[in-house]
């Protein structure tokens, strides 16, 4: 029997999953993702949208996993200016492309 889970070191979400239209630093938001996932708690990780555009960094405060669903709360730790967003986004897209080629 197999237990499928993902270890995530970025929070990749869209508005319907908990990405706010106007994110604010130090505000707590809820998120919900399909698939059972594991996130590091209380450590800054990247906050990105479905297209891997980086917004800033967030901290996962809590999450629960059940029935092929992961729900949790996160707090935005930092929001990047446009130049920093571009640099982080390009770097992340490069890493994602590299990971895809490993398969």
Residues 60-86: tens digit of each pLDDT: 999 999 988 999 999 999 999 999 999
Provide the pLDDT confidence category of residue 102 given band limits of 50, 70 and 90. Answer: confident
Q: Is residue 52 part of a domain?
A: yes
Between these two residues, 3 and 43, which has the higher pLDDT value? 43
| 1 located within any domain | no
Domain with residue 35: its CATH number is 2.40.240.20
Cβ–Cβ contacts within 10 Å for residue 57, how many?
19
Q: Read off the pTM.
A: 0.90
Residue 77 lies in a domain: yes
Q: Which domain holds residue 21?
A: 6-102
């Amino acid at each position: 029997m197999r237990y499928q889970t993902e270890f995530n070191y970025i929070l990749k979400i869209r508005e319907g999953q908990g990405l706010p239209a106007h994110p604010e630093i130090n505000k707590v938001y809820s998120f919900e993702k399909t698939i059972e996932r594991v996130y590091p708690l209380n450590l800054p990780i990247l906050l990105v949208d479905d297209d891997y555009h980086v917004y800033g960094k967030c901290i996962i405060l809590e999450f629960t996993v059940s029935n092929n669903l992961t729900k949790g709360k996160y707090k935005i730790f930092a929001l990047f200016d446009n130049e920093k967003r571009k640099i982080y986004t390009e770097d992340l897209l490069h890493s994602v492309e590299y990971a895809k080629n490993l398969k």
